[in-house]
């Protein structure tokens, strides 16, 4: 779900099985992406996965590093991440969002060969697009609460110059 000229293009790791079955990003009920988007001020209300097309009206889009659906991201190979990173760079160069937000720092590290990358803005530019690594909103990521994730997502929203929705 992408378009040219977005403020932020969110990039998940890969589709989960429910996302693959429904065609809606972050579709698993335990995934915190949609609540965190609202808590961080990107959206005025919590969207449902089947309302993902509304993101475009806010200047937001969603894609993935790897297209292959799996039950868990740890089922992906390093080669799939690297190839996905290469394809993602081509997509970002073509669409030119202001920010690429990779949702999962481990995926970012592997896809872009930056093993020491941390959550937050990255040095890397893709054309004129800035890059930010965000915490993964999966319910399996217990190190981050919805509230602490929302703070980090809000930092990105502010850096992108987007008002609170």
CA distances from 112 to 63, 86, 116 (A): 16, 8, 11
Active site residues: 14, 25
Please report the DSSP string for 16-61 in residue order: -HHHHHHS-TT-STT--HHHHHHHTTSSSS---GGGGGGGGGGTEE
Q: Is 72 helix (H, G, I), strand (E, B) or coil?
A: coil
- 32, 137 contact by CB (below 8 A): yes
CA distances from 54 to 5, 10, 86, 119, 127 (A): 16, 14, 28, 27, 26
């Amino acid at each position: 779900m992408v378009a040219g000229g977005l403020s932020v293009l969110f990039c998940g790791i890969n589709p989960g099985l429910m996302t693959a079955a429904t065609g809606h990003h972050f579709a698993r009920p335990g995934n915190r992406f949609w609540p965190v988007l609202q808590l961080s001020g990107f959206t005025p209300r919590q969207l449902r996965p089947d309302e993902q097309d509304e993101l475009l009206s806010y200047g937001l889009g969603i894609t993935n590093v790897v297209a292959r659906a799996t039950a868990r991201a740890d089922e992906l190979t390093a080669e799939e991440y690297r190839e996905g990173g290469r394809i993602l760079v081509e997509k970002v160069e073509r669409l030119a969002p202001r920010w690429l937000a990779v949702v999962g720092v481990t995926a970012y590290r592997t896809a872009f060969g930056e093993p020491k990358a941390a959550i937050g803005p990255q040095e890397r530019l893709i054309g004129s697009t800035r890059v930010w690594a965000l915490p993964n909103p999966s319910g399996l990521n217990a190190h981050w609460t919805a509230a602490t994730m929302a703070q980090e997502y809000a930092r990105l929203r502010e850096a992108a110059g987007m008002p609170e929705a």
